[in-house]
Amino acid sequence: MANEPKHKNKKETPVYLTKRILIQRARAGIKKAEKEAMLIAGYLVVAEDGWVVKKYKDGTVERIKKIATVSNENLAFD
């Protein structure tokens, strides 16, 4: 019939929907953890634009160390 759902069994959730929900929840969890860490420590250490940086509550950013680039020419996955 034209009005029947593609998935008759509700346990069969489409994969893209599950992945989308997982990504949304992970991002929300990360934002919450960042806010809590900022309240507790007053700064965050994150990777940004090829640098490890320290972000402070007042918005200032201190570069700590440049992240070394790795050439993937000889990289082999077994």
49: left (phi over 0), alpha (psi -120 to 50) or beta: left
CA 34 to chain centre: 12
pLDDT in tens, 24-52: 999 999 999 999 999 999 999 999 999 99
Amino acid identity at 10: K
HSE (side-chain half, CA atoms, 13 Å) at 39? 6
Confidence of residue 73 (pLDDT cuts 50, 70, 90): low
pLDDT in tens, 51-65: 999 999 999 999 999
